[in-house]
Structure 1
């Protein structure tokens, strides 16, 4: 196959939960990684997804029924990204027949290369037997994390096991697990590869701490790397909490620094950009995406949001976007203020949590009518805000009047305080009178 992905003599970004999303993968490629693995994604969740070509972001998204993006990819990483599908990880090591059946089915069912990543078994003989069975399924490569199932990152990697597997099979073997002791800089990658006797190397934590470890010219200052990561996260609309997690992993022992505390406190991409002193980059990126969105919609294209009924509840597919509202103001506050002016009862919220992914959905009742977003949110607070947004949009309530009123009140308070400061004291009045 033309452009078929090769796993011989490569350096790869290893699969890491919550880390291997699109911004980190693109950054690793920029710095010199040959191949990037995405985070491990569970097969049953992916089977429920629909494939969406995102024209605004210029990505291909796999979207869950609750509208969460489970996997996002773009042209830049085409032919260099590996989709990591989980089958409950190390638990499968105890079921070699199942491993063989799964891999055989995959290899025969897809036209792209299939690889397998394993941990080592307590017995070297059992490890080699498993590796040979895996090779016979037709996989393109075997990645070996050189630790036993119960060992943690603090335990030394067993390079002898990796080397024995590499000698026992003909397919490329990718060594993994050297970040703690063996790989600190780019120059250490070759040393780890030679110590393990492997064809290739994949890096997890060393790359998570500073993805510029892939640079042959040497690592870049961490702050510069963090800014480049943030720019990719903004460009591809990465979830703010995922971006925050990755930035905190880069900070490591400096996560309690002033910068670290600002990053931890951020609740959305705007606040994350402010924490990194990159608000201009945020606004430029949002303007570019908004312009592309408007151009794609065009004058004849209908709005994306459709009002629907779910029983006696009016619904719309809307998310709460914190950046769309003025500081310190929220949709719930807009709705409450409107209700008070209309002399209605205060809006009430009823929230439920879904068991399978612990997501939230809220219904707001205003004047005995119910409103709800059909999308699920990550927190109870966001779910309530989303239901308030739906109510505001359905009723056609302007969401700016409260902001203007707040601004006028702030200006009035400021002017009042200024006048109060100008007001003469009793002593000054007495002096003036005399």
Structure 2
């Protein structure tokens, strides 16, 4: 798959997720086969005002490249100004604009999926952005209730100059409930000439293959299924290549969590991560996971936390 002028090794992308896709986690997903990773979404206002915590979200290293940075905002001038700072500081292969986040904290500010209700503003944002930055621009959208309105947004984005579009098959009102409707990605792919990436309910190899075949999209973006399970990229890619079904087990999750902590330490990110939440994700679905999480939550030092993780599987396996 070619994106932003770069030939990617595959067509599986890691979704940008707040409080999830830090550099350590992105590196793990990349090692397991993610073709492109994205930072957590970054506020364009915060970039323009020089917020240091915001720049931490864009931290990268050579091992991660190629990677993308995702911005959110609502003012065309501010978004473009932030994008110019981002491309100078981090040199991503693409700058992605968020038109999909359903969080009230984001939509109440007129950002994220709220922008889908203002197509003229969308056109203004992307026209200004694509005309003034050197880095290729992509967009991630949710669907609207009406197919024609969704197609209108998609066409506006292509006309403005975006080089690819990711379509999450849920509406803003759905949040993350219900099922993704991939009819929209299918129609958008049929109508646009740029690469289209399907997002939503990509959980395993079977779902990935089904969505790709149905929509005809160029790639897939994996989000929640990767939380605490970066190995999902390996399992999905192997299934897409040769229908091989690879399982996971407690030992796999344990080793991944230990490696994740090592990377967090390496990049001085431990204090920026909610380890209680992250340990819940890494133990999700495992036998006796409640006990594992309680033991990790009661750890009173880094050494004791690592020891809990080393011992978390016992004789269990999945």
Q: TM-score, normalised by structure 2?
A: 0.73
Of 98, 110, 119, 2:121 maps to 98
Q: Is the 8 A contact 1:27 1:211 kept in 2?
A: yes
Of 144, 148, 159, 1:125 maps to 148
Shift in CA distance, 190/256, structure 1 to aligned 2, threshold 3 Å: closer
Residue in 2 that maps onto 1:380: none
Residue in 1 that maps onto 2:227: 208
Q: How does 1:35-434 map to 2 (within 5 A)?
A: 35-49=36-50, 63-64=52-53, 69-78=56-65, 80-87=66-73, 88-179=111-202, 183-184=203-204, 186-215=205-234, 216-217=237-238, 218=246, 220=248, 221-240=252-271, 242=273, 244=275, 245-253=277-285, 257-266=290-299, 269-270=302-303, 272-277=305-310
Q: Is the 8 A contact 1:234 1:269 kept in 2?
A: no
Equivalent-residue separation in structure 1 for 2:182 and 2:45 (angstroms): 34
Equivalent-residue separation in structure 2 for 1:202 and 1:170 (angstroms): 19
User: 1:246 Cα deviation (Å)?
Assistant: 2.5
Equivalent-residue separation in structure 2 for 1:199 and 1:3 (angstroms): 14
Report SS of the residue matched to 1:157: coil
User: 1:206 Cα deviation (Å)?
Assistant: 1.1
Shift in CA distance, 112/119, structure 1 to aligned 2, threshold 3 Å: same
Report SS of the residue matched to 2:268: coil
Shift in CA distance, 32/187, structure 1 to aligned 2, threshold 3 Å: farther
Equivalent-residue separation in structure 2 for 1:247 and 1:5 (angstroms): 35
Q: Is the 8 A contact 1:114 1:140 kept in 2?
A: yes
Equivalent-residue separation in structure 2 for 1:33 and 1:257 (angstroms): 29
Q: Deviations over 1:102-145 (max 9, x none)?
A: 11222122222110000011110111111001101111100000
Shift in CA distance, 146/104, structure 1 to aligned 2, threshold 3 Å: same
Shift in CA distance, 31/125, structure 1 to aligned 2, threshold 3 Å: same
Equivalent-residue separation in structure 1 for 2:289 and 2:9 (angstroms): 41
Equivalent-residue separation in structure 1 for 2:4 and 2:180 (angstroms): 33
Residue in 2 that maps onto 1:54: none
Q: Is the 8 A contact 1:26 1:76 kept in 2?
A: yes
CA RMSD of aligned residues (A): 2.8
Shift in CA distance, 8/263, structure 1 to aligned 2, threshold 3 Å: same
Equivalent-residue separation in structure 2 for 1:105 and 1:265 (angstroms): 51
Number of residue pairs the alignment of both structures matches: 259
Report SS of the residue matched to 2:306: helix
Name the structure with the higher strand share: 1
Q: Is the 8 A contact 1:248 1:263 kept in 2?
A: no
Equivalent-residue separation in structure 2 for 1:8 and 1:144 (angstroms): 21
Equivalent-residue separation in structure 2 for 1:253 and 1:239 (angstroms): 24
User: 1:265 Cα deviation (Å)?
Assistant: 3.8
Q: Is the 8 A contact 1:212 1:219 kept in 2?
A: no
Equivalent-residue separation in structure 2 for 1:117 and 1:148 (angstroms): 13
Equivalent-residue separation in structure 2 for 1:260 and 1:155 (angstroms): 28
Q: TM-score, normalised by structure 1?
A: 0.55
Q: Is the 8 A contact 1:8 1:172 kept in 2?
A: no
Equivalent-residue separation in structure 2 for 1:175 and 1:5 (angstroms): 19
